[in-house]
Amino acid sequence: MVRSKAERYWVGVDGGGTKCKVVIMNDRLEVLANYISGPANPYQDLSLAINSISLGIEEAAKLAGLHNRQDKFIVGMGLAGVNVPRVFQLVDNWQNPYKSCHLTTDLHIACLGAHESDEGAVIVAGTGSCGYATSKNDSLLIGAHGFPAGDKGSGAWLGLKAVESVLLADNGLYPPTMLTELLFEQLQVTSCIEIVDCIQKANQNYYAQFAIQVFCAANKGDVAALKIVDDGAKYLSDVGFKLLDFGAKRLAMIGGVSQAMKKWMNQELIMEESEPLNSPEFGAVLFARNHEMTS
């Protein structure tokens, strides 16, 4: 195949604490390849993040038949953790092999992808949680403080509260809850002291695995589980209303627990919510294209 010297390819990278999603597109924004690699949160581990990004792009390039063509790649990267200026600078200083590379937060690309526009807002409710909006060249970030200090309404927060409820119930300081049996079964343990042992070095991903049990118990009317989801849903609803008050024209919810949370959130807010138009990695491509056109 004869390729033009002006040939270029757009690469979108969505990097988070559990995985890195990569898409390669041509000038017509047709998808040439997708790939998912490992964790890519530079705040948690800079070296691991760079390795995951590099591997993801390299493997996607192979799938697209573009191996050794990385000098033609214009990369947009939206990464968790780069909202911290120190971390942003560390990643921005990376001597990468690409034609050009444009860096922003994972929230920014999620918003761009969800609305295919610089005007809109997202409530993220996955392993972590936060809110982000752009309006009239201004932006608003709510939360993004990380687990366990923040991330209320997230999968990790739900799991943490489930464990707390089970341990309080075991001490007779909280009513009995079906979460006890559900966590025993999931962890294959028979006592609360074994749960304590399991969580000694637990991170947000570990706690997030219990979120499904919280929703299961809540749907069956368990008092402890209902208290947890009601508290988390109220927080996410408050975030949503604040984003709309900021002036966002369109609101979307994304993340692994977002669909389950909608049932418990303020239904007036949910009536305002729209389905995401596209993925965060597509938003990363849009971010790169916008920067290339203005540079």
The reply to whether 51 and 110 lie within a common domain is yes
Q: Under 8 Å CB-to-CB from 148, ≥6 apart: which residues?
A: 156, 157, 160, 204
Is 149 part of any domain?
no
Query: What pLDDT was estimated at residue 2?
Result: 40
Residue spans of beta strands (DSSP E) within the chain? 9-15, 20-25, 31-37, 73-79, 100-105, 120-125, 129-135, 138-143, 251-254
120 pLDDT higher than 70: yes
Non-local (6+) Cβ contacts of 239 within 8 A are: 123, 129, 130, 131, 142, 143, 153
Q: What is the CATH number of the domain that holds 238?
A: 3.30.420.40
d(CA 242, CA 140): 9
Q: Are residues 168 and 268 in the same domain?
A: yes
Instruction: Let me know whether 91 and 18 are in one domain.
Output: yes
**Closest to 142 in 3D by CA, of 239, 234, 238, 237:** 239
Share of the chain above pLDDT 90, in %: 81
> Is residue 278 pLDDT above 90, yes or no?
yes
Rounded CA-CA distance 53/56 in Å is 5
**224 belongs to a structural domain:** yes
Q: Do residues 267 and 284 both lie within one domain? A: no
For the entire predicted model, the pTM comes to 0.86
Claim to verify: residue 43 and residue 92 sit in the same structural domain = yes
Domain around 287: 9-116+277-294
Task: Say if residue 172 is in the same domain as residue 259.
Answer: yes
Instruction: Give the pLDDT confidence score for residue 1 in this predicted structure.
Output: 41
Whole-number pLDDT of residue 82: 93
135 domain residue, yes or no: no
148 falls within a domain: no
Give the helix, strand, coil percentages of the chain, each rounded to 5: 45, 20, 35
What is the number of structural domains in the chain? 2
Task: Lowest mean pLDDT of 71-75, 104-108, 126-130, name the range.
Answer: 126-130
What's the pLDDT at 5?
Answer: 44
pLDDT of residue 147: 86
Domain identity same for 173 and 203: yes
**Residue 52 forms part of a structural domain:** yes
Task: State pLDDT tens for residues 176-186.
Answer: 999 999 999 99
In sequence order, what are the residues at sequence separation of 6 or more whose Cβ sits closer than 8 angstroms to the Cβ of residue 119?
Answer: 134, 135, 136, 248, 249, 250
| One domain, residues 236 and 209 | yes
